[in-house]
Chains A and B, each alone.
Chain A
Amino acid sequence: MSAEQHITLECLRYHPEQDDAPRWQSYEVPYTPDMSLLQGLQYIKDHLDGTLTFRWSCRMAICGSCGAMVNGVPSLSCQTFLRELAPGPVRIEPLAHFPIQRDLAIDQGDFLKKLESVKPWIIPAEPRALTDGANRQTPQQIDDYYQYAECINCLLCYAACPQYGLNGKFTGPAALALLHRYNADSRDAGTSERMEVINAEDGVWGCTLVGYCSEVCPKGVDPARAINQNKINSTRDYFLRFLAPRR
C-alpha cells in the first residue's frame, strides 16, 4: 500500500477542573484522502488521547453538532476534509463567540434562549382541527420560506458574526433567520407577535451586514438576507404604526 500520510492537528484544550485557561495540544494523525476532520478527531480520541472532547452525531452535515473553528473559519468537522487541509498544521478551536465548556464543546445556552424568543412555530390565524384537512401551499409559497427552514442550528453563523461576538445580547443570525422563516410561511399569522424582537436594538438592528454568516452557512439559509430584508419591515412598522394596524 502507499506510504501513510500524516497531518498535524493543533487542538485547543480546556478542562476546567485542571486548566485556568485554554492551551494548545498537537497531534500527528495518519489520514487517507476520504477522511473528514471529524474522523481525524475520532482517530485522536480512539488512538492518541481519549480525553479530547468534541460533539458529533450524524457525520453527514444534518444534525448541526460538530461545528468548530478550522484555521479560524467556522466549519462542520464532518464536512471538512483533511486532504484539503494538508499538510497542516491545522488549528482547531471551539466555535467562536461562545463560552468554552470543555475542549471543543461550547455552551449553546444563549442561542437556545434567543431561539425561544422568536416563537419558532406556526401561529395560525385561527385554530385548526384535524377535520379541516391539510394546509395547502403553492410551490411559490413554499419557495418564500423554504431556504430559511433548512437551518440545522449548527451555530456556524454565530461563530462568524462579529456583532454577536461584540454584543452577546444580539439575537443573532440563525434565530432571526428562523423568525423570518415563520413570518414568511403562508400558514403563519404571527408576524405581529414577532415584531417586538425584530424592532429591538438587539433585533435586526444589531446587524451591520458583515455577511459572513451567509458565507459559512452549510445549508444555504442566507441569514444575512433574512435579517436585512426585515430592516425594511421594521422601518415600515416604525413609520406606519400610527396609520395602519399591524397584521
Chain B
Amino acid sequence: MVMPRTYIRPMGSWWRRLPFYRRYMVREATCIAVIAYALVLLTGLWRLTQGQEAFDAWRAALATPPALLAHVVLLAAFVFHAWTWFEVMPKTLPIVRMGGKRVADATIVRSGVAAASVASVLLLALAYGGWA
C-alpha cells in the first residue's frame, strides 16, 4: 500500500497566534532587562575603580531623563519577571504536602510573592536605614 503524501505546516511566527504565546514571549523577553541592569551595575563598579570623578559622572548619567525612563521600563520588566517566575514555580516543584494534604498551587505562588515582598522591604530598609 502506498502511503499518501502528508503535509507539514510551517511554524512561522507562531508566538503571534494566541495571547498565551504572546505573554510567554514577553515573559522571556524580560531577560533583556536582566542583562541590561547587570551591565549597568557592572559599569558602575568599573567607574568606581576609576576614581571619584568617573564614578560621579556615572551617577550623573543615571540621573538624566533618558536613564530614569529606562529604569522605569527596567523596573516594570523586573516586576513582570518576578510575577511570572512565581506563577510557574508550582510547576517546577514536586507535589508539596503539609500535614498530609497537598499544598495548592495558588499557595505556592502566594508564598513566592510574599518572599519577594519581604526581601524587597528588607533591602529597602537596609538602604534607607542600615548604611549611612
Contact = CB atoms under 8 A, between A and B. Distances in A.
Interface of A: 14, 16-17, 21-22, 72-73, 96, 99-102, 107, 140, 143-144, 162, 165-166, 208-212, 214-215, 222, 224-225, 228-229, 231-232
A16 B24 contact: no
Contacts of A209: 88, 91-92
B99 to A, nearest CB: 12
Interface of B: 4-9, 11, 14-15, 17-18, 20-21, 24, 28, 88, 90-95, 97, 100, 102
Nearest to A19: B7
Contacts of B7: 14, 16, 21-22, 99-100
Given A143-B102, A210-B24, A17 B17 contact: no
Contacts of A73: 18
Q: Which 9 A-B pairs have the closest CB atoms?
A: A99-B6, A16-B4, A100-B7, A16-B5, A225-B91, A228-B92, A224-B91, A229-B94, A228-B91
Contacts, number: 67
B18 A162 contact: no
Contacts of B88: 209, 211, 224, 228
A200 B93 CA distance: 20
A225 B102 contact: no
B6 A16 contact: yes
A229 B95 CA distance: 9
A122 B24 CA distance: 36
B92 A72 contact: no
